[in-house]
């Protein structure tokens, strides 16, 4: 069975703090992909990153970074020097075959 767990329901930080959003997944497949999406208050779902199961290199994009560790089945997302515009619900997802399995989302509140 495929499953994605985002244990942090809601996180509040003050602007400029670093914050890490946790994502733990379960799958028996050897080939799979992991994703992060952002849903700002306006409601749309924005694609952030895709990572395949054979590539454990960490990735950095500006203030965003992702840490993929197969040993712990985790794909964590860190925002450095958070900003108010980062306030959103963030979803982690696992893809295999034709289906996406989304976590329940983590709501990030960044206060000025």
Partner 1 sequence: DTAVSQTPKYLVTQMGNDKSIKCEQNLGHDTMYWYKQDSKKFLKIMFSYNNKELIINETVPNRFSPKSPDKAHLNLHINSLELGDSAVYFCASSREAGVGNTIYFGEGSWLTVV
> Is residue 41 involved in binding partner 1 (CB under 8 A)?
no
- Options 56-64, 70-78, 80-88, 97-105: segment touching partner 1 (CB under 8 A): 97-105
> Is residue 90 involved in binding partner 1 (CB under 8 A)?
no
> How would you class 47 by CB atoms within 10 Å of its CB: exposed for 0-12, middle for 13-18, buried for 19 or more?
exposed
Point out which residues bind partner 1 (CB under 8 A).
Answer: 31-33, 35, 37, 39, 43-47, 50, 52, 89, 91, 95-100, 102, 104-105, 107
């Amino acid at each position: 069975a495929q499953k994605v767990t985002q244990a942090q329901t809601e996180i509040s930080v003050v602007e400029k703090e670093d914050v890490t959003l946790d994502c733990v997944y379960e799958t028996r497949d050897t080939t799979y992909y992991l994703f992060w999406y952002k849903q700002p208050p306006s409601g749309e779902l924005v694609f952030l990153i895709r990572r395949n199961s054979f590539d454990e290199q960490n990735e950095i994009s500006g203030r965003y970074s992702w840490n993929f560790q197969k040993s712990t089945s985790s794909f964590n997302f860190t925002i450095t020097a958070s900003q108010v515009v980062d306030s959103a619900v963030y979803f982690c997802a696992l893809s295999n075959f034709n289906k996406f399995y989304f976590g329940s989302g983590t709501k990030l509140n960044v206060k000025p």
